Amino acid sequence: MSITTSGLVPFVFSALGMLAGHWLGRSTLLRPIEASAAAAELSVTRFELVDGQGRRTILMDTVDDRPSIWFFDKNGKARLNLGLYADDNAFIVLNDDRERAVQIFRTRGPESAPFLVMKSGGRDRIVMGLAGAAQDPFLVHFDPAGRKRTVFGSDR
Amino acid sequence: MRGAGLRSALVFLAAGLLVGLLLTLKEGPRAPSGPAPARRVARELTISRPGSPARILFGASAEGTPAMWMSNGPGRGTLQAGVHGNGFPFVLVSDAAVRSFGLGRVDGINASPILVYRSDDVVRLVFGLSMTEAGQPAFLVHYTGDGTRHEFLGRYCDDPGRVCTR
């Protein structure tokens, strides 16, 4: 009996030691810096970049399950926005200092037709892209009075 | 005899502890578990894969404004987007030297939308709403290889100074 007990000592204590070592290694006691600084993957629902004064400069968010990135000027106004619309079409929007869209690169409709829209005072002034069943190119613009001028093609 | 037994037990315990610790640390960092945190804040964010030169960087430009750079590595084309020091936003797709590019930007006192195509450091096409004329009429100008200017639509001020934006 004593021979059996003494023979178990190496196994039992080695196993206990390994379990303790495994627990220590898994715990954050020995590697808190590694876990936070070298994370291979970071998953968040919202991510903000701030400047030296702590002001928000870039915001990445998934509002309404749609990914979007905003860039802010020094007055905190969103001047650039890129992401996906609810219908999964992609967009890049450049804004003025009142956060009104001025230039929009986007895809539109089920065909994801490419579109470029330039705006002034909230109104479309230039629209260019591909449209119609054949996805033909078009370029239209609107004069200051709102009259439409077609350079080529049709936006219908 | 009891003292010798205790010593050997402690030796086995220490050896086991060391082996267990080494094996666990060799596994590397663990993926975060549990639900994603709702919000993170940082000064700079780099997205890359070990061994790959491809890189996305979110941070501050030399002007201290927010910007994003995306590239497959040094000497390759880039995509940049952000806000200039004067607050105007831009999107730029270019070669590594930024000699050839497509640039979408906003500029001038009327915050006019502009699209510029440049090839080998020479502007070949500019398209947008006037930065100088009342009512911001549309314009489209293009340049042939010898520099001849063609105003396809409207007028465009191409003075290299900022006079065209005021």
pLDDT digits (tens, 9 = 90+) for B113-154: 999 999 999 999 999 999 988 899 999 999 998 889 999 999
| B3 found inside a domain | no
| B15 found inside a domain | no
Confidence of residue A32 (pLDDT cuts 50, 70, 90): very low
Query: Between chains, do A26 and B24 touch, taking CB under 8 Å as contact?
Result: yes
Position B12 scores a pLDDT of: 76
Q: Which of B21, B32, B40 sits opposite A24 (nearest CB)?
A: B21
Pick among B7, B17, B45, B151 to test the A interface (most A CBs inside 10 A): B17
* Cα distance from N-terminal residue to C-terminal residue, chain B: 97
Is the predicted pLDDT of residue B105 greater than 80, yes or no? Answer: yes
Query: Between chains, do B21 and A97 touch, taking CB under 8 Å as contact?
Result: no
| B111 found inside a domain | yes
Q: Which helix (H) or strand (E) holds A20?
A: helix A2-26
Position A34 scores a pLDDT of: 40
Q: Give the A window 57-76 contacts with B, CB below 8 Å.
A: 57-58, 60, 69, 71-75
What distance in Å separates the CA atoms of residue B103 and residue B123, rounded to the nearest whole number? 11
Is the predicted pLDDT of residue A116 greater than 60, yes or no? Answer: yes
If one compares B100 and A16, the residue with the highest pLDDT of the two is B100
Parent domain of B123: 44-165
| B135 found inside a domain | yes
Pick among A61, A73, A117 to test the B interface (most B CBs inside 10 A): A73
Which residues in chain A are closer than 8 Å to B14, comparing Cβ atoms?
A: 17
> What pTM was computed for the model?
0.75
Task: List the domains of chain A with CATH numbers.
Answer: 1-43 (no CATH), 44-152 (3.90.930.1)
What distance in Å separates the CA atoms of residue B9 and residue B62, rounded to the nearest whole number? 63
Query: Between chains, do B16 and A38 touch, taking CB under 8 Å as contact?
Result: no
- Whole-number average pLDDT of chain B: 86
Q: What are phi and psi of A76, to 5 degrees?
A: 80, 10
Min Cα–Cα distance to chain A from B18, Å: 6
Position A74 scores a pLDDT of: 94
B39 → chain A, closest CA residue: A46
- For the CA atoms of A62, A68, A74, A77, the dihedral, rounded to the nearest 10 degrees, stands at -90
If one compares A75 and B23, the residue with the highest pLDDT of the two is A75
- Please tell me if residue B109 touches chain A, with a CB cutoff of 8 Å: no
Query: Between chains, do A46 and B39 touch, taking CB under 8 Å as contact?
Result: yes
| B78 found inside a domain | yes
Q: How many domains does chain B have?
A: 1
- Please tell me if residue B125 touches chain A, with a CB cutoff of 8 Å: no
Query: Between chains, do B153 and A151 touch, taking CB under 8 Å as contact?
Result: yes
| B74 found inside a domain | yes
| B31 found inside a domain | no
- The whole-angstrom distance between residue B121's C-alpha and the CA centroid of its chain comes to 21
Min Cα–Cα distance to chain B from A154, Å: 17
What distance in Å separates the CA atoms of residue A109 and residue A89, rounded to the nearest whole number? 7
**What are the pLDDT digits (tens) for A33-58?**
343 455 677 888 889 999 989 999 99
Q: What is the CATH number of the domain that holds B147?
A: 2.40.128
Say yes or no: ipTM exceeds 0.90.
Answer: no
If one compares A63 and A126, the residue with the highest pLDDT of the two is A126
A101 → chain B, closest CA residue: B113
Confidence of residue A149 (pLDDT cuts 50, 70, 90): very high
| B5 found inside a domain | no
Q: Which of A49, A57, A94 sits opposite B104 (nearest CB)?
A: A94
**Quick one: which of A92, A93, A88 has its CA closest to A111?**
A88
Which whole-number Å values give the CA distances from B30 to B41, B46, B71, in the listed order? 21, 20, 28
**What are the pLDDT digits (tens) for B14-71?**
887 787 767 766 665 555 556 667 778 889 999 888 898 999 999 999 999 999 999 9
